[in-house]
Amino acid sequence: MPVTPLTYIDGRTLAKGRCHWEPGDTGTRHRRTLPRAMLWHWTGGVRSAEGVCETLRARSLSVHWILDPDGRLVQCCDPLLCVAYHAGDANGWTEGCEIVGGPKRDFTAAQYERIGELADSRSYPRRVFRPGVDDVRTFSGHLEHRDVSTRKIDAGGRVGAFLRKRWGLPA
């Protein structure tokens, strides 16, 4: 699952190391099985990758990717080696991307472009989770945090709708 030819910023270059996690750091563990899905989040009120890192560290959480409004993609940990704590029971079988934005602010054109590039670069099937049709326990592809937790609404259906259109999937 290499991200090339995407260009990304290694999290170690941001915020003096606060945006990088190794397996076994607080909020992570070593991966035993490969992920089978990309799980998309939004940050709500946090407005930068650095702010996301600070919030996650304070909560003993982590994430694999953070996508800033300008399209900057920050890799925070290796999804092949590290289980990031970003989605409860889904942590072990997903890699996660936090998109800076929320319910009151749509993603930017640069973010949508990078969402497409990141999604295209993954080895997961070009499938988008369909509630009531797909079984989350066996799903492979792309889904949003709201698909695995009744307490969450992110990413508001935006990523799913975008990827369906990009890949020519039924709505």
Find the CATH number of the domain harbouring 78.
Answer: 3.40.80.10
Cβ neighbours of residue 83 closer than 8 Å, sequence gap 6 or more: 23, 28, 29, 30, 31, 91, 92
What's the whole-model pTM score?
Answer: 0.90
Domain that holds residue 134: 9-22+39-167
- The answer to whether residue 1 is domain-embedded is no
Rounded distance between C-alpha atoms, residue 37 and residue 24, angstroms: 21
Confidence of residue 9 (pLDDT cuts 50, 70, 90): low
Q: How many domains does the chain have?
A: 1
* Burial of residue 3 (number of CB atoms within 10 Å: 0-12, 13-18, 19+): middle
Give tens-digit pLDDT for 14-36.
644 567 888 888 899 999 999 99
pLDDT of residue 46: 76
pLDDT digits over 108-130, tens only?
999 999 999 999 999 999 999 99
- In a domain? residue 33: no
Paired with 141 in beta bridges are 37
Segment 68-82 mean pLDDT: 91
